[in-house]
Amino acid sequence: MTLTNILNKVKTDIELNHDEIITLLEVTDPEEKTLIFSLAEALTLHHLGPEIHLRGLIEFSNYCVRQCNYCGLRHENYHLSRYRMTPEEIITTAEQIADLGLKTVVLQSGEDLWFTQEIIKEIILEIKKRTDLAITLSLGERRFTELEAWRKAGADRYLLKQETVNPKIFAEIKPDASYEKRFAILEQLQALGYQVGSGAMIALPGQSLADLANDLIFIRDQRIGMAGFGPFIPHEATPYGHLPGGSGEFSILLLAVARLVLKKVHLPATTALASLVPNGLYRAIQVGANVIMPNMTPLKYRKLYQIYPGKAVTSLEKVMETIHSLGRVVGHTQGDVLVSRICSNSGE
Ligand code: SAH
């Protein structure tokens, strides 16, 4: 099928199949890319409007029990100084985020079991008491009872990237994790009534365009509400330090194709993309991103949250300027997801 036919299918709201998605991901001709980018932008405006939602990110602990081969926070990286913000520091940082007018806080960390069910629950309750922020958790794989308690305490959303839906690659990149378990947790989160985010890394070892097409189809078929796609960036203190990283230009194309396939799904301009592509935020918004997660981690900790090197530092002012220069506006609502799985046993 020709590119024009595929784009016409998108315009008439017919679902793309695996082969058609691969054809889009294979495009290298600049003019053809421009056609994809413009349609991605038009679809974003049509389905989601001009609003860009800002989510204030607090990276509150870089301790991690896991051994993910791609990630600088992996347990065996003994070169890294570890930090843990106190619950009070986390709560006051969330208050600052609310004072800046942002509507969502994202609490992210390595898998750090110091933060027990009770401690996280208290943090959620306190943030809800002191602010009107939506709360997104991104704490890795936690037990069902914990996820349930946090949802009951008021957590709204949970981010857990599958990283890849290819089970072989998953086993290679996350040697101490289970593909099935991670997938099962995503389903539990949906059943508990969380707004769920997932996604994948681009340019993992052995990953093909067919795999990436499957990653997109997975998000669509599972009715996941948010999806982050960012290039893999090698970190020298990991077993994957010597591998080639993802290409920024390809990651932009993948983001645009993600918009064509996923329509109403919230797509962030990932920090990994912003770190790799000059004017990455600007370009990401231009091709379909509608979420930005400004880093609000206190400065003294920020440089220690080294999941990969060269992480982009983008000030809130720069983010605002970028949004306005594209004629877009900052979302004034919590920016809830528009796609979810309606479950009879939802926690609502
Ligand atoms: N520990 C939590 C969340 C922290 S990491 C979890 O595992 O879910 C957040 C995201 O950063 C990961 O989901 C992964 O997609 C991305 N990431 C980690 N290491 C990376 C690297 N080297 N390059 C690019 N992205 C990376």
Predicted local distance difference test score (pLDDT) of residue 187: 97
Q: Is the CB of 140 under 6 A from ligand 1?
A: yes
Q: Is the CB of 70 under 6 A from ligand 1?
A: yes
Nearest atom in ligand 1 to the alpha carbon of residue 139 is 2
Residue nearest to atom 10 of ligand 1 (CA): 161
Least Cα distance to 279 among 287, 100, 330 occurs for: 287
pTM above 0.85, yes or no: yes
Predicted local distance difference test score (pLDDT) of residue 205: 98
Q: Determine the distance separating the centroid of ligand 1 and the alpha carbon of 274, expressed in angstroms.
A: 15
Predicted local distance difference test score (pLDDT) of residue 231: 97
Q: Are 189 and 158 in contact (CB under 8 A)?
A: yes
Least Cα distance to 194 among 229, 228, 146 occurs for: 146
Q: Determine the distance separating the centroid of ligand 1 and the alpha carbon of 72, expressed in angstroms.
A: 9
Q: Is the CB of 307 under 6 A from ligand 1?
A: yes
Q: Which residues of the chain have pLDDT under 70?
A: 342-348
Which of 55, 80, 84, 308 has most ligand 1 atoms within 8 Å of its beta carbon, as the pocket-test mutant? 308
Q: Is the CB of 74 under 6 A from ligand 1?
A: no
Nearest atom in ligand 1 to the alpha carbon of residue 71 is 19
Q: Count of H helices and E strands in the chain? A: 14, 8
Q: What is the C-alpha to C-alpha distance for residues 25 and 275, in angstroms, rounded to an integer?
A: 21
Q: What is the C-alpha to C-alpha distance for residues 249 and 207, in angstroms, rounded to an integer?
A: 17
Which of 59, 71, 243 has most ligand 1 atoms within 8 Å of its beta carbon, as the pocket-test mutant? 71
Q: Determine the distance separating the centroid of ligand 1 and the alpha carbon of 163, expressed in angstroms.
A: 8
Q: Determine the distance separating the centroid of ligand 1 and the alpha carbon of 80, expressed in angstroms.
A: 16
Q: Determine the distance separating the centroid of ligand 1 and the alpha carbon of 239, expressed in angstroms.
A: 15
Q: Is the CB of 203 under 6 A from ligand 1?
A: no
Residue nearest to atom 6 of ligand 1 (CA): 140
Q: What is the C-alpha to C-alpha distance for residues 87 and 67, in angstroms, rounded to an integer?
A: 25
Which of 70, 74, 194 has most ligand 1 atoms within 8 Å of its beta carbon, as the pocket-test mutant? 70
Structure tokens at 44: 């974003």
Alpha helices, DSSP H, located in the chain:
3-11, 18-25, 30-48, 87-99, 117-130, 144-153, 167-173, 179-191, 209-221, 248-262, 271-276, 280-286, 299-302, 316-325
Query: Looking at residue 136, what DSSP letter applies?
Result: E
The tokens 């993600």 sit on which residue?
A: 258
Predicted local distance difference test score (pLDDT) of residue 315: 86
Which of 57, 276, 307, 308 has most ligand 1 atoms within 8 Å of its beta carbon, as the pocket-test mutant? 307
Q: Is the CB of 289 under 6 A from ligand 1?
A: no
Q: Is the CB of 138 under 6 A from ligand 1?
A: yes
Structure tokens at 259: 């918009």
